[in-house]
Chain A
Amino acid sequence: MSSETDRQLRSILADVLGLKPEHVAAFDAETGLFGHLPELDSMSVAGLLTEMEDRLGFIIDDDEVDGELLETYGSLLDFAEAKQRGVLGA
């Protein structure tokens, strides 16, 4: 996990959740997000999704947002990379 998308996604999480870069740098694919990070509540999810759209250059449909998406860092990164490849539509 050292793609440009990975780097940007960590930076977005640090910015939106107010986490220290070293904390976010230690995330791996299994790191739990929603329900594990007290900073990540439903209000900050909205900010996270909007910031991903702005910086990663795709649109997230509200139907695509479910519990699995935010379960782990790996699932969120997979989603972002699939979005960028256009697999999940523009």
Chain B
Amino acid sequence: MLATWPCPAPAGGASEEYALAFRQGRKHCLLVIPALFDEANRLRRLTVEVMRRLDAAGIDCVLPDLPGTNESLQSLSAMTLDDWTGAVLASGIYFKASHVLAIRGGCLLAPPELPGWHYAPVKGANLLRQMIRMRILSAREAGRDETQDGLMAQGAASGLELAGYSLNSQMLADLRAAVPPDEGHRVILQDTIGGSPLWLRAEPDEDRAQADALAAVVAMALTA
């Protein structure tokens, strides 16, 4: 279930990172790229439930930890979006991935070389706006007045902590500019999956019907 892979470290060399892996050397191996930041928590259950269904359908799948998150020993505040893109690519090569399933902000990290699916892709700027708004609202509850412009200026100078994630100025600039690629893969919209989007929920939730539907899109294409 747990595998490790060598991840290129920003300072050079490699760090060892974990991945959740269902691997039996079968015909297809799906690289699953998780949603980012707070959305990663809300979608973790759905992501793993989809992988369990694909495993049962005879498809290998691997979900790498992004360096600086989950069990990683790397520091998140040292990471840029390019570091994550490189990490995802390295994990795909190491696990010999044949296809990719990228989720929400994970679509920003998808290797263009791999065919596959992008589930509900989102612009980096939208993720950033949402996290900045969460910070402004919680600051207001604590009696502090913060503004979008003020926070962006502070972020550009010295980085920001957003939704509990410490992001450096380069990561913030990368996110602001990042848009999901518009070709080389199929986009899965929420309308196809049905139900209400789990990344919107303030509390993590699960939905078996959504996991069934998302897994079915991938399984039907790969086992046809």
Chain A stretch 38-76: residues in CB contact (< 8 A) with chain B: 39, 41-47, 49-51, 54, 62, 65
The interface size of chain B toward A, counting residues with CB under 8 Å, comes to 18
B137 contacts partner chain A, Cβ-Cβ < 8 Å = yes
Chain B stretch 105-160: residues in CB contact (< 8 A) with chain A: 126, 129-130, 133-134, 136-138, 141, 147-148
- Among A17, A43, A46, A54, the one with the most B-chain Cβ atoms within 10 Å of its Cβ is A46
Q: Could you tell me the distance between the alpha carbons of A46 and B133 in the complex, rounded to whole angstroms? A: 6
Give which listed residue, B138, B141, B200, contacts A47 with CB less than 8 A. Answer: B200
Give per-residue flags for B174-209: 1 if the beta carbon is below 8 A from chain A beta carbons, else 0: 000000000000000000000011001111010000
The interface size of chain A toward B, counting residues with CB under 8 Å, comes to 19
Contact A16–B133 (Cβ < 8 Å): no
State whether A43 and B197 are in contact (beta carbons under 8 Å apart), knowing that A49-B133, A62-B148 are contacts in the complex: no
Interface residues of chain B, those whose CB is within 8 Å of chain A, are 126, 129-130, 133-134, 136-138, 141, 147-148, 196-197, 200-203, 205
**18 cross-chain CB contacts under 8 A:** A15-B196, A15-B197, A15-B200, A17-B201, A17-B202, A18-B196, A18-B201, A18-B203, A41-B202, A42-B137, A43-B202, A46-B130, A46-B137, A47-B201, A50-B126, A50-B129, A62-B148, A65-B137
